[in-house]
Amino acid sequence: MKHDHFIVQSPTTPAQQLLLLFHGVGDNPVSMGQLGSWFAPLFPDALIVSIGGPEPSGPAPGRQWFSVQDITESNRQSRIDAIMPAFIATVRYWQQQSGVGPLATALIGFSQGAIMSLESIKAEPHLASRVIVFNGRYATLPETASTAATIHLIHGGDDPVIDLAWAVAAQDALVSAGGDVTLDIVEELGHAIDDRSMQLALDHLRYTVPKRYFDEALSGGKPNDDGIVELF
């Protein structure tokens, strides 16, 4: 499957986790891949890949997932829906290439890449087990949700591009729909990722216990009855 990408880390032994990074408008996979250097030491057995958007945006090598020219609240969802099959196919391509299934896959996005990551789980709830959302939002809030994916919203308190209110609304909608979500607000941070944001992301991947584990325990079920190993 042809698409721009940058491999941040490829373990010498078969990958045990898959971390996919998705950039914002006008950025590129190499630049976004710098975030992967934070994850690599803590997940040495992970294949970490930064994926480039399918369309050019601004000066090369800038890319985007969908055009923001003349974008409105009424047409944003349709633009996302148009590219979503290709986005989901890209995630599944790297799952196939790595031999890592959805239960050990994390989607990590910033801005437009975060929007695509959130919307992909709305479209395919079992696409990945973790989603790290830096300064993102839904195009339209979900009416249903499951605990198949644990979503971590990390948002700058002073973001002038995607207002914090969108993250709060996303959290409220997911909680109301029975989803699994956390929200961390980084004070005095704009539309950016800083050391505090990254530490929150790392801590969530390492220490936050997915809600589905508690649900399985309460129902008397046994996790991983299908023999699949969960690593997040």
- Between strands 150-156 and 55-56, the pairing is unpaired
> Cα–Cα distance between 90 and 17 in angstroms, integer?
16
> Cα–Cα distance between 49 and 7 in angstroms, integer?
5
Element of type H or E holding 130: strand 130-134
With b meaning 16 or more CB within 10 Å and e meaning fewer, what string describes 183-201?
A: bbbbeebebebeeebbebb
Per the CB < 8 A criterion, the answer to whether 172 and 105 are in contact is: no
How confident is residue 229, by pLDDT bands cut at 50, 70 and 90? Answer: very low
Read off the tokens for 149.
């994916």
- Any idea where the domains of the chain sit in the sequence? 5-219
Q: What is the pTM of this model?
A: 0.94
Residues marked as catalytic: 111, 159, 191
User: How far is the CA of 41 from the CAs of 36, 47, 216, in angstroms?
Assistant: 9, 12, 31
CATH class of the 5-219 domain in this structure: alpha beta
Read off the tokens for 216.
């399985």
pLDDT tens by residue, 60-107: 999 999 999 999 999 999 999 999 999 999 999 999 999 999 999 999
pLDDT tens by residue, 215-228: 777 666 554 444 34
Per the CB < 8 A criterion, the answer to whether 185 and 158 are in contact is: no
Which segments of 13-163 does DSSP mark as H helices, in order?
Answer: 29-32, 36-39, 76-98, 112-123
Looking at residue 231, its pLDDT comes to: 56
